Chains A and B, each alone.
Chain A
Amino acid sequence: DQQVKQNSPSLSVQEGRISILNCDYTNSMFDYFLWYKKYPAEGPTFLISISSIKDKNEDGRFTVFLNKSAKHLSLHIVPSQPGDSAVYFCAARPFVISSGSARQLTFGSGTQLTVLP
């Protein structure tokens, strides 16, 4: 059973508009959440993260929102640009109890974002 779910395999958005990527999780022990971006033939790269003590984190055009009661987070990209076209992975990890568990990320299946010029 997937503990981190990205129910939309793909999303298309017009350039300049907002992209909203969604992620749901089931494990109540998760308390740190990350978004990674992946281009074809490259490894995933870290984009933005949020701790469970916050409900919003912003970095330039990227904002992540966390709704703990709903076990839901979303990534907003405003304005969307063609260079944002990539696969976006949501990831989560539990509260840090050891250096090993701190790094064990559980990933969602990814959402392919296409930004149309």
Chain B
Amino acid sequence: NAGVTQTPKFQVLKTGQSMTLQCAQDMNHEYMSWYRQDPGMGLRLIHYSVGAGITDQGEVPNGYNVSRSTTEDFPLRLLSAAPSQTSVYFCASSSPRVGGELFFGEGSRLTVL
């Protein structure tokens, strides 16, 4: 059972470049989200989706785009990378039942030079 799969695990970008972090889950979860983890800041919510075709902003959405065309996939796009986006990114999903905890992917470490 793969759970939540993120690719790539590591990426180095130059300022201004764009890229997409991929996230896929095989648990048929309606809810998916993206977090970034920075030292001393914990995990902060970037964007989330409650189902295919529905997305919304979290706490730190600027500089990121998302789309949800299928239940399984929730890619995160960096439009024009900045050094402030150097971080570890985690994708997570959960079931719709109340109390359903988040299942996280292994993370994608992004460095923007």
Are B101 and A46 in touch, CB under 8 angstroms? yes
B31 at the interface (CB under 8 A from A): yes
Q: Are B107 and A43 in contact (CB under 8 A)?
A: yes
Surface stretch bound by A, among B12-20, B38-46, B66-74, B76-84:
B38-46
Complex CA gap A44/B88 in Å reads: 12
Neighbour of A32 across the interface among B58, B94, B99, B102, CB < 8 A: B99
Partner of B42, one of A43, A96, A109: A109
A-B contact count (CB 8 A): 69
Stretch of A13-21, A69-77, A98-106 with 4 or more beta carbons under 8 angstroms from chain B: A98-106
Do B45 and A105 touch across chains, with their CB atoms under 8 A apart? yes
- Are B42 and A4 in contact, with the CB atoms below 8 A? yes
Q: Is there contact, CB below 8 Å, between B101 and A34?
A: yes
Instruction: Summarize B's interface: helix, strand, loop or mixed.
Output: strand
Given contacts A43-B104, A103-B31, contact A89 B42 (CB under 8 A): yes
Q: Count how many chain B residues have C-beta atoms less than 8 Å from C-beta atoms of the other chain.
A: 29
CB pair A110–B31 under 8 Å, yes or no, is no
Residue of A51, A89, A102 with most partner-chain B CB within 10 A: A102
Residues of B near any A CB (own CB < 8 A): 4, 30-31, 33, 35, 40-45, 48, 50, 56, 58, 90, 92, 94, 96, 98-107
**CB-based contact B98/A46 at 8 Å:** no
Contact B48 A104 (CB under 8 A): yes
The contact sample of 23 A-B pairs, CB cut-off 8 A, is A6-B42, A9-B40, A41-B106, A42-B107, A43-B105, A43-B106, A44-B102, A44-B104, A46-B102, A89-B42, A89-B43, A96-B98, A99-B96, A100-B31, A100-B50, A100-B56, A102-B98, A103-B48, A105-B102, A107-B42, A109-B41, A109-B42, A110-B42
